[in-house]
Amino acid sequence: MSTLVEDNAAEHRFEILIDNALAGFSAYLPRGADVLVFTHTQVDPHFQGRGVGGALIRGTLDQVRARGGTVVPQCPFMAAFIDKHPEYADLVAEHP
């Protein structure tokens, strides 16, 4: 199974593709040059319960870190993921 997380900037969302099929996404609103406000995460029902949501958020946060950005996790799924994975806590914007 091939998995890829990529930023679809035109749609303002990070997408996870499994075997070239869209399996889920995490939508954001850009704020300034390097802050992304994440508002909603959705996983296709066919892929739920298989760790796809966690893989999507991990891939998203890794890419945000690589580009030197920060996040505002308004999405409850992303906020819960960061709470459970404190290695990503430094990516949360201090003053959203």
CATH superfamily of the 3-91 domain? Gcn5-related N-acetyltransferase (GNAT) (3.40.630.30)
Structure tokens at 91: 């990516």
Domain boundaries, the chain: 3-91
What pLDDT is stored for residue 63 in this prediction?
97
Give the chain's count of helices (H) and strands (E).
Answer: 2, 5
| Residue 55 CB contacts under 8 Å (≥ 6 apart), including other chains | 3, 5, 16
Tens of pLDDT, residue by residue over 20-75, are 899 999 999 999 889 999 999 999 999 999 999 999 999 999 999 999 999 999 99
Indicate if the pLDDT at residue 1 is higher than 70.
no
What pLDDT is stored for residue 95 in this prediction?
67
Global pTM reads: 0.94
What pLDDT is stored for residue 3 in this prediction?
78
Q: Cα–chain-centroid distance for residue 9?
A: 13
